[in-house]
Chains A and B, each alone.
Chain A
């Protein structure tokens, strides 16, 4: 009834009609409910399922550590790569994990700058996931160098041999890009955590826990004179991270694109890699958040709207990735380079690893197409299945790019099909354990949802809530479409 009135009023003044927005926190929860629910995860005993997941993760981490010790003590040859396939599972895994690490900063930074307030429920977990994924990623190139104790040679510091790095090499760019990405992600994540650590500090009884949370909360007292600078800092970090997140996977793709290997030497790689990274990263966020939401009862905070939005991003980026696959193929034909075309024919049609190409294409391009339908975007089992497909598909994609190219190099006499060894497989599986272990510890000790940010997007956090309309703060961000009835805050002399 009221909606009709508003609609006709707007039609008369030819102002676009503002539709009611879906709330970001369901059931009109008060601030204290949000604190209790999120801090409760940390303060209460962990559910049995947490232990069921944690114990195998620790075991897998141990297996991973064992594999690395075995590799160090024996040599990098325990992995299956041999000439000409010098890069195989290790670099595939590196690119795979780095890609997963892109969603966190994307959700935090890009969605922050574009005022997508729904990000608040998922950004913390996604940022944590980023850090752990980048940690997993960093392991592979570090051990791939062979003599891991010499890995400090990558850093531009004076050494006894007076050798300096080659700054013209994309591999060195990669070192800078990935380490900058990790550092900036840690800063961004930690800055976001500070107010929430203060919440945890204020809820704890005096003791070691309170002291530790207090130490990391830096004495935060929620003063607006602090919030004012804090918000500027947060926005700056978002603005810095946005080009950073795009640069990291671009630089990773330069590892391939700046070489003259047929199948790698293409200009489409940077955007194609970035789209793929966002795609795979969102799939991993959903893979982790849907179970976490069910286990910890976070249904009012991570709503079907959140899942729906992320599914839409997966559909969009999946389609971009599909376009890139097709365009890559088209350019191989159109470029009229026989080596390039032959590489693609071997990749997709009759090479030894065609299976991987088919898996890649069906998991990454066909599977997400179900997300055209709203019903399926919010049907959790479907979303989980599609996300699992995407997770697997993105690994296949990197395998296809790296291994199938090297398997069929320019000279047929040097052709060799790659076979992984048991060390390849267990190391990779082990990194999943390492990733899960870190994520579960994060769930156990730190707030999985950004408490302060979620409070800030509730209707009652709006100082003009209920003034002349009752839609709450979420209407403010309908860019340029503020209703005529929306009055400016009384006496709010907004200083420039």
Chain B
């Protein structure tokens, strides 16, 4: 038999309806918590505002991804068509003057690079994929992907206290408040 040390991850609290969860999120935001999140089976309309989140920076990444795509396609076409392998087809110039004919490929690579940046940029920003997470130790948490609506306030939040946070969650109408602990 071995004893394992546990580390408190935070409180997981369940709410009955999207409306309750939405208003609870407003309360948690107004109480000044920073390390917390809501977990829902679908994105809740307006929840970013209720949680006080700012807009995603992802579009900027994608913008630069797209520019990289355009540049890559242009260089690929310019270098191959006008420098290292000049082919004259239908009496068209094998110089930069053929630029209009290069647009379709430049367009496609812009989209392709942007799409890859969207996917990998998203994963980088949200820190996925990861194999496990302390929340998955909770038995109830699996419901989040079905119909469970949760708020989780993490222990690393400066305002977190084992008593105070629990009382606070009870005060805003949370059900099934659970202290999630993780094996170290």
Contacts and interface: CB of A to CB of B under 8 A. Distances in A.
A493 B46 CA distance: 10
A438 B65 CA distance: 32
Given A233-B118, A460-B18, A222 B40 contact: yes
A452 B25 CA distance: 20
Interface majority SS (helix, strand, loop, mixed), chain A: helix
Given A167-B80, A176-B104, A223 B38 contact: yes
Nearest to B132: A219
Interface stretch (B122-130, B157-165, B169-177): B122-130
A224 B104 contact: no
A227 interface: yes
A456 B42 contact: yes
B58 interface: yes
Contacts of B87: 164, 166
Interface string A468-496: 00000100100000000000011111111
Residue from B26, B52, B111, B133 whose CB has the most chain A CB atoms within 10 Å: B111
A82 to B, nearest CB: 26
Nearest to A220: B128
B37 A225 contact: yes
Contact of A251 (B44, B104, B141): B104
Contact of B119 (A191, A221, A231, A496): A191
Interface in B120-144: 121-123, 125-126, 128-133, 135-136, 141-144
A35 B26 contact: no
Given A184-B115, A199-B41, A461-B44, A221 B144 contact: yes
B112 interface: yes
B80 A156 contact: yes
A492 B115 contact: no
Contacts of B118: 187, 233, 236-237, 240
Given A164-B81, A166-B89, A228 B104 contact: no
A31 B44 CA distance: 13
A183 interface: yes
Given A221-B39, A224-B37, A173 B105 contact: yes
B42 A164 contact: no
A195 B42 contact: yes
Contact of A236 (B23, B59, B80, B141): B59
Contact of B39 (A166, A222, A241): A222
Contacts of A165: 80
A229 interface: yes
Contact of A30 (B23, B44, B49, B147): B147
A28 interface: no
Interface majority SS (helix, strand, loop, mixed), chain B: helix
Contacts of B46: 463-464, 489, 492, 494
B146 interface: yes
Nearest to B54: A495
A173 B104 CA distance: 6
Contacts of A462: 18, 45
Contacts of B58: 229, 232-233, 236
A231 B18 CA distance: 18
A347 to B, nearest CB: 27
A113 to B, nearest CB: 15
Residue from B102, B123, B146 whose CB has the most chain A CB atoms within 10 Å: B146
Interface residues on A, range: 35 or more
A473 B46 CA distance: 11
Residue from A162, A176, A177, A463 whose CB has the most chain B CB atoms within 10 Å: A463
B44 A35 contact: no
Given A455-B41, A494-B49, A221 B114 contact: no
Contacts of B2: none
B115 A187 contact: yes
Interface residues on B, range: 35 or more
Contacts of B40: 222, 224, 227
B71 interface: no
B147 A237 contact: no
A203 interface: yes
A226 interface: yes
A224 B48 contact: yes
Given A168-B101, A202-B142, A227 B81 contact: no
B181 to A, nearest CB: 17
A453 interface: yes
Interface string A195-227: 100110111000000000000001111111111
A199 B148 CA distance: 11
A491 B43 contact: no
A212 to B, nearest CB: 13
B130 A219 contact: yes
Contacts of B76: 156
A461 B114 contact: no
A169 B89 contact: yes
Given A251-B108, A494-B46, 17 more contacts: A31-B146, A162-B85, A167-B102, A173-B105, A190-B119, A220-B145, A221-B39, A222-B145, A228-B43, A240-B118, A451-B41, A461-B45, A464-B19, A489-B46, A491-B30, A495-B49, A496-B55
30 contacts: A30-B147, A31-B146, A35-B146, A166-B81, A168-B90, A168-B98, A169-B89, A173-B104, A176-B109, A187-B118, A188-B115, A202-B143, A218-B123, A218-B128, A219-B132, A220-B128, A224-B43, A224-B53, A225-B53, A226-B126, A228-B47, A232-B55, A232-B56, A244-B111, A251-B104, A456-B42, A466-B19, A489-B50, A495-B49, A495-B53
Interface of B: 17-19, 21-23, 25-26, 30, 37-56, 58-59, 62, 76-77, 80-81, 84-85, 87, 89-90, 92, 98, 101-102, 104-105, 107-109, 111-112, 114-116, 118-119, 121-123, 125-126, 128-133, 135-136, 141-147
Which 5 pairs of residues, A with B, have the shortest CB-CB distance?
A: A463-B22, A31-B147, A218-B129, A494-B49, A164-B85
Interface of A: 30-32, 35, 156, 162-170, 172-173, 176-177, 180, 183-184, 187-188, 190-191, 195, 198-199, 201-203, 218-233, 236-237, 240-241, 243-244, 247, 251, 254, 451-453, 455-456, 460-467, 473, 476, 489-496
